[in-house]
Amino acid sequence: MHGSPANSWEMLLPRFFSETITRADVWQLLSRNLWDRYLYGALYPFGYGLSYTTFGYSDLKVSKPVIGAQENITLSCTVKNTGKKAGDEVVQLYIRDDFSSVTTYDKVLRGFERIHLQPGEEQTVSFTLTPQDLGLWDKNNQFTVEPGSFSVMVGTSSEDIRLKGSFEVL
């Protein structure tokens, strides 16, 4: 075998309620607000993958804290191979419209990049978001970029978010 198994899952695999659990297990899940996740959560989150090494994420930069509705915005971060073997990493960018007029997803994948790093090597990964990436279909069925706050999340999968930031659209 050669290379690094940085293959990321491209789909969600549902978790089925098939195991036998005790009342004590149910009580633990309920008391920690984990019942819905246990019943309906993904067995493997979107982007899940394995590697023979480890990676560190740092230095999330947002090109502008405030943009206009028709402007692009650039985001970047540094990824470092902190392990002892060379490996591939799939850096994933998710965004969330914090206060939209219609119901939107908690996280939306808006970019990803596969990089190969030697041990100790680091690389800056950049993403550019366009108005098309930030827009949504409003209640009048019009595509629009609504003003407000957007959250930015960078990580290895939809569940393993390493960096967070935000920006505002006027």
**Cβ burial, residue 92 (10 Å; 0-12/13-18/19+):** buried
SS3 category, 106:
coil
* Greater pLDDT, 2 or 145: 145
- Token pair, residue 113, equals 């990049």
Q: What is the pLDDT of residues 18-57, one digit of tens each?
A: 455 556 665 565 555 555 555 556 667 777 888 899 999 9
Q: Residue 118 has which token pair?
A: 């030697």
Share of the chain above pLDDT 90, in %: 67
Distance CA(92)–CA(9), nearest Å, equals: 12
Cα-to-chain-centroid distance, residue 122: 20
Q: Tell me: the pLDDT tens digits for 89-109? A: 999 999 999 999 999 988 999
Tens of pLDDT, residue by residue over 147-166, are: 999 999 999 998 899 999 99
pLDDT of residue 145: 97
Per DSSP, the three-state class of 14 is strand
65: pLDDT strictly greater than 90:
yes
CA pair distance 43, 41, nearest whole angstrom: 7
